[in-house]
Amino acid sequence: MQNELGTVAGLWRYPVKSMLGQAVASAEVTERGLAGDRSLAIVDQDSGKIASAKSPRLWRNLLQCTAMLERDRTRIALPDGTLLRSDDPDIDDALSAYLGRTVTLTDTAPSRGTLDRSVPEQVLRDGLDAEVQADIVDLGALAPAGTFFDFAPVHLISTSTLNQVAALSPRKSIEAVRYRPNIVITTDGLGFPEHAWMGGELSIGEHLVLRIVASTPRCAVPTLAHGPLPQDKAALRTLAEHHRIVAMPGRRPEPCAGVYAQVVRPGRVTPGDTVRLSTELVTTTGLVTAGPSGRSFGLSE
C-alpha cells in the first residue's frame, strides 16, 4: 500500500562538489544519482583530501562558483565572471589561483576519498576563520564506488521542513539551495516529516523508486554565503534548537533536515511528478554500512 506525500517541486544537480549547481527541468536518476550530479570534485594537493565547504575556513569560496553541465563537459563560472571549462588545459592553475591553494579538478574518485567536516557548532561559535575541530568523512558509504557523494546518491527535502525552518528563524525565510537537495518535495503543513520515511520506499513518477536510508545531519554549509545569498547562521542554529534527532541507529542526536536515499529502480523525474511512500517499511540490513561514530557523514554537498 502507498500513501501520496505530494509532488516534486524542484530538481537540482551540482556538477562540481561544493560549488553552486543548477536547477533542471527533468533528470534521469540511476544508482549514481541524478545524471551529472557531483561528477567532478576538487582535490587539495597538500592533503590529498577532497575540497569541501564543510571546512569553511579553507573552502567556503567554492560556494561563490557555479558549475553547469553542458553536453559532455562542465562550465564553471567564477565570481568575477571568468568562465572555465572542465576540459581547459589550464583549469587547475585557474582554480588554484582563485582558491589560494594548489588543487586539481578530477572526475576520478580515489579508492578511499576523505574530506574534513568542521564541527558545525564550533563554527557557529568561533567564526568562519577559526581553526576548529574537524571530523574526517569517508566518502560514499552508501553510494556506488567511484562517486563523490558524502553518503548516498540522492538527497531530498520537503517544503514542510523548509517552511518550518523559515517560521522558526529570525528572518522568517529560508532558501532550499542552502541545504543542497537534489529533489524538493511539496508537502502539506509545517514540521519535519522526512524522518518518518526512514526505511520506506518513495515512488516518484512512473518508474523511479528510492529507498530512504538516513536523515541528513547538517554541517556548516547551510550557514555560508551561497553566491549572492548572504551568510545565515539561523539555517543551522534553528535546527540545532528545534530538530536534533538520531540520523541513523548508533549515532548521537544532531541537527537534521531532509533525508538520504539510494536508488532501487532508475527512472526519469520531472517537477510535478507524484511522490508516494510505501507503508510497508523495508529492512536496511546489509545496506547501512557507515560506522556509528568516529567517522562522520553529513550534507550531500
For residue 280, is pLDDT > 80? Answer: no
Contacts of 289 (CB under 8 A, 6+ apart): 141, 142
Q: Are 185 and 275 in contact (CB under 8 A)?
A: yes
pLDDT tens string 241-251: 999 999 988 99
SS3 content of the chain, % helix, strand, coil (to 5): 20, 35, 45
pLDDT-derived band at 298 (thresholds 50, 70, 90) equals: low
Q: What is the mean pLDDT of residues 47-68?
A: 98
pLDDT, position 300: 54
Q: Which grid coordinates are listed for 289?
A: 554500512
**Residue 280, C-alpha cell as written in the block:** 510497508
pLDDT band at 290 (very low <50, low <70, confident <90, very high): very low
CATH of domain 2-278: 2.40.33.20
Helices (H), the chain: 56-59, 91-99, 120-126, 159-168, 234-242
Whole-number average pLDDT of the chain = 93
What pTM does this model have? 0.93
What pLDDT, on a 0 to 100 scale, did the predictor assign at position 46? Answer: 97
Instruction: Return the ∠ at Cα 31 (arms to 108 and 197), rounded to 5°.
Output: 125
CA distance 152 to 131: 28
User: Strand 253-265 relative to strand 208-217: parallel, antiparallel, unpaired?
Assistant: antiparallel
User: What pLDDT band is residue 282 in, cutting at 50, 70 and 90?
Assistant: very low
Residue 281 has what pLDDT?
56
pLDDT at 295: 44
State the amino acid at position 254 in one-letter form: E
Q: Residue ranges of the domains in the chain?
A: 2-278
pLDDT tens per residue across span 109-146: 988 899 999 999 999 999 999 999 999 999 999 999 99
Q: Which residue has the higher pLDDT, 212 or 282?
A: 212
Quote the cell numbers at residue 271.
517537477
